[in-house]
Amino acid sequence: MLFAAGIFFIILGIGLWFILGAAFGRQAKLTGSGGVVSIIRSLLGGGSLLLGLIMAFMAMVVIIQPGEVGVQILFGSALPNVLREGFHIVNPFVRVVKMNVRTQQYTMSVATEEGEMNGDDSIDALTSDGLTVKLDVTVWYHLNPGDAVKVYRIFGPDYVSVVVRPIIRTAIRDAASRYNAVSIYSGKREEFILTTKSLMDVGVTDKGITIERVLLRNVALPPKVTDAIEEKLKAEQEAQKMEYVLQRERQEAERKRVEAQGIADAQKIINQTLSTPYLQYLYLTSLQKMAESQNTTFLITPYDQNLLPLVNLR
């Protein structure tokens, strides 16, 4: 379109140049206004010609930005050469379709407006134990630059909805059928992701697309399975709590046993070392301390003839 407009202005400029020259040239010589006519011819004819040349040149210039490639369409046919990033001069009749070759993501989520489609776009997958789980998934992928022409020719510019989305959903459902619901939820989550990635790689073979990574964002189990898992976790927590209580009681019993043994050993040593003179010394020392006390106290203690307190010694 731009090239056609440029050709139009080129023809218009040439036409104006000759038409104005033929129409006003003789009159300008007679009246002496040749300079004015020359200026008008330059402005109208030359301006149109220059504008046409600029537009025609711009129609042949294509700039491909980083992360893009250009597919050339000439009269309804895709040319085999892919335009890489940078400055290019192409056939003015070529239409260039730019395609993204950066890493892109495709998200299917239960959350509204979070994925590529509005509403609940999560994947309902049937597991090996006959349960249905809802999976939120994000897949990183990119278009292979060298295969851009083939992808455009076979699938068109909307290859994501034609190829990527169906392959993702099919691979996830196939992978889910090989695992039970609890394994996908926890036990074999990483293995499930690797299996899904392998199935996607097979699905995009020879399609010009590379799957980089699969992210399993969320797994929603059926309510009855969720309740069973919660009950199991609760029972495990109760068992751990009881084991802790029993361990604490064992430690307390061991502490009391050691304490009692220590007291018994101490009493045995004391009984073996007590003597009559030592008891008299302790008795008299205690009386002396009481007598020196600032409080007025009368202390009457039973004692025998040897000034020993009446205690039962064995």
Model confidence pLDDT, tens digit, residues 129-169? 888 888 888 999 999 998 999 999 999 889 998 999 999 99
Side chain identity at residue 35, one-letter code: G
Q: Which of the residue ranges 129-133, 208-212, 280-284 would you say has the lowest mean pLDDT?
A: 280-284
d(CA 63, CA 202): 35
Q: Residue holding tokens 């190829």?
A: 163
Structure-derived torsion over alpha carbons of residues 59, 64, 65, 71, reported in degrees to the nearest 10 = 120
> CA-to-CA distance for 11 and 51, rounded, in angstroms?
11
Angle made by CA atoms 209, 211, 214, in degrees to the nearest 5: 155
- Residue-wise burial string across 21-49, b where 16 or more C-beta atoms lie within 10 A, e elsewhere: eeebeeebeeeeeeeebeeebeebbeebb
Which helix (DSSP H) or strand (DSSP E) does residue 83 occupy?
strand 77-83
Q: Lowest mean pLDDT of 67-71, 147-151, 241-245, name the range.
A: 241-245
In contact, 63 and 88? CB cutoff 8 Å: yes
- Residue boundaries of the structural domains of the chain: 2-59, 62-99, 102-221, 228-273, 275-314
127 phi, psi to nearest 5 deg: -85, 175
Distance of alpha carbon 6 from alpha carbon 296, whole angstroms:
128
Q: How many CB atoms lie within 10 A of CB 211?
A: 22
Q: In this model, does residue 63 exceed pLDDT 70?
A: yes
d(CA 14, CA 247): 104
In Å, how far are 92, 228, 233, 240 from 237, measured between CA atoms? 74, 14, 6, 5
Give the C-alpha separation, 47 to 12, whole Å. Answer: 10
Instruction: Enter the tokens of residue 107.
Output: 């998200």
pLDDT exceeds cutoff 70 at 106? yes
Alpha helices, H only, the chain: 2-31, 34-41, 47-59, 148-155, 159, 165-176, 181-182, 189-203, 223-273, 276-291
Distance, CA of 198 to CA of 191 (rounded, Å): 11
| Residue indicated by tokens 């293995």 | 191
Amino acid, single-letter form, for residue 100 = N
The rounded radius of gyration (Å) of the Cα atoms in the chain is 49
Predicted local confidence at residue 5, as pLDDT: 63
What is the residue whose two structure tokens read 């335009």? Answer: 83
Against a cut of 0.85, is the pTM above it?
A: no
Domain 102-221 superfamily per CATH: Band 7 domain (3.30.479.30)
The predicted pLDDT at position 210 comes to 93
Which pLDDT band, with edges at 50, 70 and 90, does 313 fall under?
A: very low
How far, CA to CA in Å, does 30 sit from each of 36, 220, 305? 13, 94, 170
CA dihedral 246, 252, 255, 260 (to 10 degrees): -110
Q: What pLDDT does 2 receive?
A: 59
Average pLDDT, the chain: 76
